Each structure stands twice: as C-alpha cells, then as structure tokens.
Amino acid sequence: MELVFIKPRVELQPFIESFWVFRSAVGMPPADTSLAAPNGCAKLIIPYQNSLLSIGDGCTSVNHEGGLYFVGNRDSQALIHSSARETGFVAIEFSPCGAFPFFGIPMDKMTNGLFEAEALFDRWGRDVREALGNLEKVDEKVNFLQDQLVMLLRKSVPQNAVIEYCVRTLRLSCGRMPIGELEGRTGYSRRYLDLLFKRHVGMSPKVLAGIFRFQRFYQKWAQGLPYDMFKDELYDYYYDQAHFTREFKKMTGYSPRKFTLEVSNEFGRRLSQR
C-alpha cells in the first residue's frame, strides 16, 4: 500500500486539506479494516484502477473504475473495500468550508452521501470524468484536476468570512470552543450560525466541533500511542470517559480500547499522518 501526498497549487491551498494518490498491488488489504474516519472534509474521489466499495450508515456504494465521485462531509465512519487486484485512486479532501466555493451547492444536501459528479455538477462533472478517462498517466490526471478546480475557483463567490473565522476558531481549539462563545465573538445567533454551517460545511458547528475533538485523539492513535495515553487529556475534551467512548464509537464503530488494541487500519493511519 502506498499513499503519496501532493502539494496543491497556491491558488487551491486555502480550500484543500489534503490531496493524495493511493496505490496498491493487491487492492485494499483484506486484513486491514481500511476505515475512513470523519475529519470534517468533503472529498472528490477518482478511481482510475479497480473499483471501490464504500460502506457507511448501513449502505453500500460503488465507486466504479473511471468514475468521478463527490463524498459529502461525514459524521460517522465509512469502510473501504476493493477486489484483490491492482488498485489506484486520487482523492482531494477539501477543508471544512472549502468545497462550497467551487461548486455552490448547499453542503447539507450531500452530508454522509456519495454521488456521481455528473449527477451533481451536470456538464462539468461529465466533461471532467470523460477527460480524465482519456489521460493515461496519474500525474496528468492530477494536473488536469487542478486546472479544472482553478478554473472553477475563478468563477466562484469568495468564501464567507464568518464561516472561515468560526471553522478556524473551532479547529484551533480542537473543538473545545463553546458555541455560545462563537455567538458572542461573531455577534450572530446560534440559529444563524447553524444555517451558515449547514450551507457551507454540511453540518452544525456543534457536530464539527465533535469531529475536531475526536481527531485530537485519532491523531494520537495514528502516531502509535496506546489507549492509556489518551486518558492524560480526555477530561479536557469530554465530560467523562463514557462521553469519550460514545463519541469515539460513533466516529469509528469501535470503543477506544477495542480500536487501539484490535483494529488494523493502516490506510487510516497513513492518511492521518499527512
């Protein structure tokens, strides 16, 4: 399994969280759980070799080879599978409020969903999918995708300054900032902030804050720290251990102890070490 991270072009960097290419000679390894945990990012997925199965919320979706797919922001885990043959796909993860400026579609309509790009974006999705299929080399596909996103960005509406500030503040606090404090700092009501977040991010500020809190501990797992090490900071982020366990299980499908001791998720680990 190989995960190669790509530095986005300067114009795209404020909007993109990570950009990477996955390659494997044997697909998503059967012994690996291959779990994609929530990280606050909507995604574009381009399977250029082999198809992918995505299982989340009890639903199975197929990402066909040669397709172009948009994955909405998630608040629960998704399992990724493939057949045991050579597999490759490109992924662009947008920052929490980074996808809306490109596509202008309310993000809450896509939360926890996976969609064919041409069904969402009409001609743009179809033209980009067809053009990608005619490019043989992966670096050509990567460069073409960046070209297309830069073109979209030049036609887009600038990001909303309030949502940018709120997302940045929640991230810097690792989700500990009370939503009431965001109200005070911005001068906007919780109801208005909820509406703004759902349009630009796909979920409320409270849900996004929960994802940022979870990611604090998921990153520790990715670094190889044992479960007992989590307890040093647990009460700075959660009411008690039961609260932590409940939130962690929602994001991964496992309790923290079971996940850290028994789950193999090399895909998720490498993805978290960007």
Residues 219-274: tens digit of each pLDDT: 888 888 877 777 778 888 998 889 999 999 999 999 988 988 888 888 888 888 77
Report d(CA 194, CA 28) in Å as an integer.
37
Residues 192-231: tens digit of each pLDDT: 999 999 999 999 999 999 999 999 999 888 888 877 777 7
* Domains of the chain by residue range: 2-155, 161-272
Q: What is the pLDDT of residue 213?
A: 95
Residues β-bridged to residue 49: 88
* 271 neighbors 3 (Cβ within 8 angstroms): yes
Q: What is the pLDDT of residue 136?
A: 93
Percent of the chain with pLDDT over 90: 77
Residues 149-185: tens digit of each pLDDT: 999 998 877 789 999 999 999 999 999 999 999 999 9
- pLDDT confidence band for 1 (50 / 70 / 90): confident
Q: What is the pLDDT of residue 158?
A: 76
Q: What is the pLDDT of residue 224?
A: 84
Residues 123-157: tens digit of each pLDDT: 999 999 999 999 999 999 999 999 999 999 988 77
Q: What is the pLDDT of residue 178?
A: 94
Return the CATH class of domain 2-155.
Answer: mainly beta
Q: What is the pLDDT of residue 232?
A: 74
Report d(CA 199, CA 35) in Å as an integer.
27
CATH for the stretch 161-272: 1.10.10
Looking at every residue in the chain, the average pLDDT score rounds to 92
Q: What is the pLDDT of residue 263?
A: 86
